[in-house]
Amino acid sequence: MLRILWLVSLIIQCYHCLNLTYRVKEENSPITYIGSIATNKQFLNSFSSEELKVITFNQLQQKEAELFNVTTTGKLYTLQTIDAESLCRYNKECSKVIKVAVHKQKTFVRILKVKIIIDDINDHQPEFPDKEITLHFREGDGKGMKKSIPNAIDKDVGFKNRLIHYKLRQTNHSFSLEVFKHADGVSYLQIVLEEKLDREVKESYNVEVIAEDRGTPAKQSVLNVKIIVDDENDNRPVFAKRIYNVSVAKTHKTNIPVVIVSAQDSDRGDNRKISYHFSPMTSEMDSTHFQLKPDTGEIFLTETSSLQEKVIYELFIEARDGGNPPLSSIATVMVNVINQQNNAPNIDVNFISTRNHNTATILEDIKV
């Protein structure tokens, strides 16, 4: 019995762990070969040539076991098509870690931590909220007058694949494009008037804003901008806070708001009417737990939400006014899940031997 407890304790603490790293591209078909642990130079240095002949491997039971498989000979494969966007958040390395037990004949030797980096491919193009918008300039507006337009969002998680470059395509030189990147990484776009407009000469203009990512090959989308010479919506909504930090218990009721976000617009009429939406920057892993009321800014837990303790959910909330085209601003809501219950601790045990349901087997002559 003491030998079994020692063995389990060894696994939990991952004594003498060896860390290995592999890479695989997302969107490959299931059963894609990633690499061989048995032929890894870092692993080979730990054993003699005679020992390597009797080495076997088995993968410990984890959530990641649904994604990857390790054979007894140490070959590493995918089990399903890997989608980086559904597994990882923006601006972070996309990776998963699996644990693999190493055996020398009947003797348990050590646990390997195998890190698998999922390389994002450029499978999404930048997307504008709409394919066509209309801007309004006054006839009396002077050179340098600016009008804001919505930016594009690329759902790829890789830095280059989601980095967007903008340029303007037009048949005349009455307008230019100005791009300002905020500290939070979001680009703000403005169409700049380069010459005085005369409605009697020309009532409207058409220009194209091209958004192109830095992937290989690059992908792009086009925003068609129709410019009419008259009035405009020139103020964005302004949030009361740029960042909302809230704490919520797992037992929080679904009919009570977790937080209420609020923004104001200094325009008049429909241009100052504000609606609230989840920005495409919000990860689906986070947004599925929350419901946002567009007209009030109230954020509730969904009926099916299952919050995890000690996890911070990051929600990007877009306040959009009623102008044409609408202008918007983004605030961040950080939801920290706390535990208000005195629960008994949980023990997660990984067995390195064969098990049947909840029963593990161990040979009586096993070496320690």
Confirm whether 355 is domain-assigned. Answer: no
Token readout for 336 is 């920290």
Counting every residue, how long is the chain? 368
Residue type, 194: E
Q: Are 193 and 168 in contact (CB under 8 A)?
A: no
Confirm whether 134 is domain-assigned. Answer: yes
What's the CA gap between 134 and 192, in Å, rounded?
A: 14
What is the count of structural domains for the chain? 3
Of 119, 137, 155, the domain-final residue: 119
Its domain, for residue 287, covers 238-338
pLDDT of residue 13: 45
- 22 CB burial (10 A radius; 0-12, 13-18, 19+): middle
- Blockwise average pLDDT, block size 10, the chain, 368 residues: 46 61 91 94 88 92 85 94 82 85 91 90 88 89 92 82 87 89 81 88 92 88 91 81 94 94 87 93 92 97 82 94 91 89 63 61 63
Q: Are 353 and 58 in contact (CB under 8 A)?
A: no
The pTM for the full model equals: 0.54
What's the CA gap between 245 and 173, in Å, rounded?
A: 46
Confirm whether 345 is domain-assigned. Answer: no
Of 230, 247, 277, the domain-final residue: 230
Give the CATH number for residue 79. Answer: 2.60.40.60
pLDDT of residue 207: 94
Q: What is the CA 158 to chain-centroid distance, rounded?
A: 10
Closest to 161 (Cα-Cα) out of 118, 124, 209: 124
Q: What is the CA 132 to chain-centroid distance, rounded?
A: 27
184 Cβ contact list (under 8 Å, min separation 6) = 330, 332
